[in-house]
Structure 1
């Protein structure tokens, strides 16, 4: 587990702000509104968008530039009759964690939206402890790719890839209760 704000490179990924794969990322150590929001999530003071509570989306337990991790436990509220976590819920978490990972690298004055999402289900994700890891694999000025993995008992049960479209020069975003998408990307 990585403590909040600790600057380490994700396994297999370049460190945020280094190399051409992360050309648009904010360097480690720079304070942004997105990073402040992640810290507020960790200390329980963030005002989360209503959809997070409504969809029972879990939050992060740590972050570093380019990566967000959650150590969580899945309970009966997200299980199908035969005991596996509902695939649509997993897809929602893929999108959610991709967005949280983007907050670790997005500069102030830029916003992002999901342009594409794919999920692969390798094994049932069952009730009980699991880890969610989201890693920004590449980022430029207009596009980023984030990979999200679900691990349980030492194996990957599901993974997803999310393409994010970035708009620079957007109005300042406070990353608290959601604004209309049209206001962010128009």
Structure 2
């Protein structure tokens, strides 16, 4: 089994990690300020600096927004196991389990691919709050497809 991320997806992930890609701009505007700390085959670590745009009046993060971020994270980690530059994916399932609230100023995210087959990529990610406690765990399934 080939365990080399495609050139296209490596470039996207490295660009995201360096902070200067169009994906950084999009995610900062729509989801918040993320830093991709490290990535490798089937795994990545991120820091999410949570700003007031996404905090409810009671001081906690809106669950629907967390689910949107979860989909973004699931896509990034799924990208790590794509071996052909023509491969793409779409989310077919996203389960978000909330254990405790996420609040500003920061969340740490650890994501991994738990299984990658010819057609499906299964992903799990943990969101840890500023008190270093598990706040959210997500499970997602991405469907692989080829373009061109």
Give the corresponding residue for 2:139: 161
Task: Answer whether contact 2:60 2:102 (CA < 8 A) is retained.
Answer: yes
Matched residue SS, 1:101: helix
The reply to whether residue 126 of structure 1 matches residue 103 of structure 2 is yes
The reply to whether residue 32 of structure 1 matches residue 7 of structure 2 is yes
The reply to whether residue 56 of structure 1 matches residue 34 of structure 2 is no
Aligned residues: 145
RMSD over aligned CA atoms reads 1.9
After TM superposition, the score normalised by the length of structure 2 is 0.88
Give the corresponding residue for 2:89: 112
1:50 Cα deviation (Å)?
Answer: 7.1
Greater helix share, 1 or 2? 2
After TM superposition, where is structure 1 displaced by more than 4 Å over at least 4 residues in a row?
A: none
Give the corresponding residue for 2:42: 66
2:56 aligned to which of 80, 83, 96: 80
Give the corresponding residue for 1:94: 70
1:143 aligned to which of 120, 123, 139: 120
Give the corresponding residue for 1:175: none
The whole-number CA distance in structure 2 between the counterparts of 1:84 and 1:129 is 12
Matched residue SS, 1:119: strand
Residues 1:51 and 1:39: Cα distance change in structure 2 (over 3 Å): closer
